[in-house]
Chains A and B, each alone.
Chain A
Amino acid sequence: MSDAAIILDSLEKWFPPALGGWRAFVQPFAFPTLPALRGVSLQVKQGEAVALLGVNGAGKTTLLRILATLLLPTRGNASLAGYDTVKEPAAVRRQIGYHAGSDLGFYARLTGRQNLQFFGRLNHLAKKFCADRIADLGERLGLQNNLDRQVRTLSSGTIQRLSLLRALLHRPKILLLDEPTRSLDAIAAADFRHFLKTEALRAQGMSLLFASHTLQEIEFLADRVAVLDEGKLVAFDTPAALRGAAASASLEMAFAKLTGRRIFSPEEQLSS
């Protein structure tokens, strides 16, 4: 039995092109010709935090959506806590807390608490446990004054915090977070990172796979970083090792070297 929380084995995902106009009539079912993931293999250990780093379109969200059972891989396998995402999706969903990175996904006319109770009940949480957990996590995420307001009156950052609370509500073993602090202000983002590291990862031993463009966040949270480029895994190591391998002072420069891209240095940015 492997001690890995997540195993990806030669995972591939190809999408069909989105056809419009007359071609959509002539060819309603197009073949998958657009690659999103190309043979990605990696393992996330139990209790480990792994960051997915890549430019837009590198395949980070696709990877997270496959693990959340929202997408089927074209080839290869993915498993979480020993359950295959294709053959045992219901068992996989019992293990995960998923945050899609969007500030949609709530019933606008219900309050935050009512929304969370609804999703908690669909995860088969007992009423009392669910209520206590909402109150506890609400306080930790600074939501206590917003839980009883209708979601339509909340800011996008607050809705995002609600979404993070929802992902944590049922104490999942594995957290899949897509850009978890995207809409948060600097203070809320720092608080959330701290909460993730001390509570979710250290105290509760959750495993974390998250996509982020915030390198400071990756440095703070990630034990290892998976660098994706055009659907391929180009590097997978600790932040320090990635910097060392690319002979770079910062993760930003290492990322640029590993993906063959050029980043303007601070001096160049100032002089331009």
Chain B
Amino acid sequence: MMRLLRDLFVFFQRDLRIASTYRSPFLFETIEALFGAATFYYVARFVDSPALREALPRGKTYFAYSLVGLVFFDYLHAAMDTFDRSLQEARDTGTLEPLLVTQVSLPLILIGSAFYPFVASTLRIVVYLGWATAFFDFPLRGGNWLGVLAVLLATLLAFCGFGVLSAAYLLLFKRGNPVKWFILGVSSIVGGMLFPVDVLPPWLQVIAYLNPVTYALDAMRAVLLDGAGIASVLRSLLILLAFAGVLLPSSMLVFSWVLRRTKATGTLTHS
């Protein structure tokens, strides 16, 4: 276990060192988050109406509702994107081959490479919410932070399976990412990012409730905006963990098969 953590830290340290050689991105991203929060604040003010308030869960402003949707969706995007992006970078820079002859396995290389992007995404959430609280009256004080952590972890586990599947696709077919395209594309419509799924036609609602994003966003809004306890979001958490229970082992199986196949065809390090 200690060795595993040490290995993960080695990857984190590598990415932190690389990131620190670029001087300006963090500053620009921080400022960009302020612009993003401001945009949502003024859009929310502009579209606010009794009909909209009626459609939203009780006591929530559209600004708070949509900002949590947007920021958290960005996090899911990172969870799905990070595995295949790290694989692609390693392949393009020629570091994949030297990594593969070290004593860590490819799944661990992928997980280790995802460590820093996850931390960076979490920080981005903090920055977004920080600006929104400081300048736009975002209701942060009532949040249940333990609940936020639990939802983040459950979501991360559920979405890592998709991330591993998209890395497997990239390894096999070299370009494109239908897993990401499908999950994120569908989720932006039926995942409840900017509007409640209740406003969708019934057949789309069925798709929404088959999608883990819906449960992740519901639970996150409940713990962050309402300060709901773990018990009130337990159902969503269990559904997310069930997704993880199915997706993680099956995606690892698919990945192992793809790894074997690319080693057989000699295309493992091809781009």
Instruction: Using CB atoms and an 8 Å cutoff, list the residues of chain A in contact with chain B.
Output: 13, 15-16, 28, 32, 62, 65, 68-72, 74, 90, 93-94, 96, 98, 100, 102, 104-110, 114, 118-119, 121-124, 150, 163, 166
Contact = CB atoms under 8 A, between A and B. Distances in A.
Interface string B13-50: 11001100110000000000000000000000000000
Given A100-B97, A107-B14, A122 B102 contact: yes
29 contacts: A15-B266, A16-B265, A28-B173, A62-B266, A70-B263, A71-B263, A71-B264, A74-B264, A90-B103, A90-B105, A93-B102, A93-B103, A96-B101, A100-B98, A104-B95, A105-B93, A106-B95, A106-B98, A107-B18, A107-B93, A107-B95, A109-B22, A114-B14, A114-B17, A118-B14, A119-B98, A122-B10, A122-B104, A163-B98
Given A65-B266, A70-B101, A114-B14, 9 more contacts: A16-B265, A71-B266, A71-B268, A90-B103, A105-B95, A105-B97, A107-B93, A119-B98, A121-B6
Contacts of A15: 265-266
A110 to B, nearest CB: 6
The B contact surface, by secondary structure, is: helix
A176 to B, nearest CB: 9
Contacts of A68: 101
A40 B102 CA distance: 26
B18 A110 contact: yes
Nearest to B22: A109
B14 A110 contact: yes
Interface residue range, chain B:
20 to 34
B57 interface: no
The A contact surface, by secondary structure, is: loop
A72 B101 contact: no
A90 B103 CA distance: 6
A106 B94 CA distance: 7
B99 interface: yes
Nearest to A108: B93
Contacts of B269: 70
A234 B226 CA distance: 76
Contacts of B3: 124
B260 A72 contact: yes
Interface in B155-170: none
Nearest to B269: A70
A91 B97 CA distance: 17
A109 B18 contact: yes
Contacts of B268: 70-71
A65 B262 CA distance: 13
A92 to B, nearest CB: 9
A248 to B, nearest CB: 34
B264 A166 contact: no
Report which residue of B3, B98, B103 has the largest number of chain A beta carbons within 10 angstroms of its beta carbon: B98
